């Protein structure tokens, strides 16, 4: 067991003839007691400082662990968010492609319908033109027919000249 300042203070030496000067020994012991007490105080202060530093170190280690976990969680959340955004973008692209295909198909169908209507109108116009030409030719034939000449030369009934 280590000596305490009280042990040093209470230490008594046996006396002999021609021994050391008792006052010098006591002064030296007093100085040793003061230095020893200072060293003990300093040791206690250092131990308290070490304990406080260890507490801080433990606290910082805890913070570091928490930050590390937080970074991992944040990274996982970012990865998940990135993955979800990518999936959503793919869905949007697929939906847009579907809509584009639908719009193109609708436009093609309308285009075909309009083309058929144009063809039908062309046919009807050709038929109308042919009928109109036939009508005009018939009328021209009537006009150039000899019976008109006889009508022109005839006098109207009931009118006297």
Q: How far apart are CA 32 and CA 26, in angstroms?
A: 10
Rg (CA), the chain: 63
Per-residue pLDDT tens digits for 69-128: 999 999 999 999 999 999 999 999 999 999 999 999 999 999 999 999 999 999 999 999
Model pTM greater than 0.75?
no
Query: DSSP states of 89-152 as a string?
Result: HHHHHHHHHHHHHHHHHHHHHHHHHHHHHHHHHHHHHHHHHHHHHHHHHHHHHHHHSHHHHHHH
How do residues 47-83 score in pLDDT, each as one tens digit?
A: 999 999 999 999 999 999 999 999 999 999 999 999 9
């Amino acid at each position: 067991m280590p000596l305490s300042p009280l042990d040093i203070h209470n230490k008594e030496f046996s006396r002999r003839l021609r021994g050391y000067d008792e006052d010098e020994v006591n002064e030296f012991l007093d100085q040793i007691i003061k230095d020893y007490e200072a060293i003990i105080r300093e040791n206690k202060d250092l131990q308290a400082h070490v304990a406080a530093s260890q507490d801080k170190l433990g606290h910082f280690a805890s913070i570091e662990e928490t930050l590390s976990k937080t970074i991992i969680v944040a990274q996982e959340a970012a990865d998940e968010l990135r993955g979800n955004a990518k999936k959503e973008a793919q869905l949007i692209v697929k939906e847009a492609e579907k809509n584009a295909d639908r719009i193109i198909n609708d436009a093609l169908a309308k285009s075909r319908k309009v083309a058929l209507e144009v063809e039908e109108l062309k046919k009807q116009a050709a038929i109308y033109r042919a009928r109109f030409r036939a009508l005009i030719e018939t009328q021209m034939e009537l006009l150039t027919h000899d019976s008109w000449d006889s009508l022109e030369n005839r006098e109207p009934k009931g009118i006297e000249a």
